[in-house]
Chains A and B, each alone.
Chain A
Amino acid sequence: MIPVGFEYARPGSVDEALALLTEHGEDATVLAGGHSLLPVMKLRLAAPELVIDIGRLPELSYITVDGDEVAIGAGTRHSTVETSSVLATECPLLPAVAATVGDPQVRHRGTLGGSLAHADPASDLPAAVLALGGDVVLRSTRGERKVPITSFYTGVFSTVKEPDELIVEIRVPRTGTAGWAYEKFNRRANDWAIVGVAVVDGRVGLVNMGSTPLRASTTEAALADGASIADAAALADQRTDPPADLTATADYRRHLARILTKRALTTAAG
């Protein structure tokens, strides 16, 4: 399978990339790791006229502590997140979740920014950043804005990001020793999550339980009111709208959300 022909640009800086995006608008698509974009281009479900390759901009690849937060460049690869010693101590949920993405080859290419931008509700990392209550930093030639992840997603494969904007950074709180866990349920090695549940510091993020990553808000509220883990987890599928597909019915996903939330909360409680 071969993509439709396209023009290719590899800007040498974020500023150059932003200028190209402003100039070409919707005709241009950003390429980071390419592990979501190239498969859809090969299937010819996407046929951009211009591909802007930001995959090797050193400016977008970093993990640094900044006050109460860890700032992660959007171009940071899953394998770098997975093995980061900074994240291991400051925000251990994130490397643990990154380690469950695809396989080593996928993790050598895919990026955190690409995963958040792609907005696949079956992706692991968006729900993890949601559970963390992180922020997405967007930049264009018009300026920069910081969007809380809670208002970043608008639907399946869609976000509030404008076509001329790049995700440049993801900011997550330094959760340190707060309890955390990630439960990903799938049937075969290498598969996407049928359902995933990320827990950190009493917050719960759900993978594949609706058209966007979701917080199990009813569970979180019950926990805050002092409910037991079992009682709170039994509410994990409330206010969700899980899809039905070849791997699972919506009801089965609801069941998984409750069970996995119970397991994750139990692990996080140590």
Chain B
Amino acid sequence: MSATVKVDMTVNGTGTSADVEPRLLLAHYLRDVVGLKATNIGCDTTSCGACTVLVDGESVKSCTVLAVQADGTSVTTMEGLEEAHPVTAAFRAEHGLQCGFCTPGMVMASVGLLSENPTPTEREVREGLEGNLCRCTGYHNIVRAVLAASGQDPQAATAHPSRSGA
């Protein structure tokens, strides 16, 4: 076993610290060392986005980041969002989830997206979430939720002129 390395990381505003093996993934640090289980591991191959968290405000897939790479950073998981956060509230209101497995990653990717682009178009939402897979919802309600969280009317923002006639 390789020598352990000390990491210090702010997680959801609280300082955390541990001696870890360098090969420990951030996803495992959050789940097993800090004990925050919202962050799911789906594919473990950087494909599904279920493990998405924010590192210094930017969305990353925590199955593909070492805990030591996040040393000294500020990490936000779904547990770190306040109860009435606009994105979680909108996911609830727009039925942006069914089984809920993708939801923590989808929500954190959406929070990251809205911090970079506060008023995205429908297309920008779809492209902004292209790294997150959902096997249940068919995505439409997730897209509506993100549009609603950005203060837009999801009905108007997803209206396709080409489909309105007929």
- 11 further contact pairs, Cβ within 8 A, besides A104-B112, A189-B127: A4-B23, A8-B2, A8-B22, A34-B64, A34-B69, A39-B64, A103-B132, A104-B59, A104-B113, A105-B61, A105-B109
Q: Does B52 contact A (CB under 8 A)?
A: yes
Binding site for A on B (CB under 8 A): 1-3, 5, 21-23, 25, 44-47, 49, 52, 55, 58-61, 64-66, 68-69, 71, 109, 112-113, 116, 127-128, 130-132
Closest to B44 in A: A1
Q: Does A2 contact B (CB under 8 A)?
A: yes
In the complex, the answer to whether A103 meets B64 with C-beta atoms within 8 Å is no
Q: How many whole Å from A81's CB to the nearest CB in chain B?
A: 15
Binding site for B on A (CB under 8 A): 1-8, 10, 31, 34-35, 38-39, 41-42, 51, 53, 55-56, 79, 102-106, 108-109, 189-190
Q: How many whole Å from A82's CB to the nearest CB in chain B?
A: 11
What separation, in Å, do the CA atoms of A105 and B46 have in the docked complex? 9
In the complex, the answer to whether A8 meets B5 with C-beta atoms within 8 Å is yes
Residues of B within 8 A of A5 (CB): 1-2, 21-23
In the complex, the answer to whether B46 meets A106 with C-beta atoms within 8 Å is yes
In the complex, the answer to whether A105 meets B49 with C-beta atoms within 8 Å is yes
What separation, in Å, do the CA atoms of A206 and B105 have in the docked complex? 34
Can you name 15 A-B residue pairings with CB atoms under 8 Å?
A: A3-B23, A6-B2, A34-B69, A35-B64, A38-B65, A104-B128, A104-B131, A105-B60, A105-B109, A105-B131, A106-B61, A108-B59, A108-B60, A109-B65, A190-B130
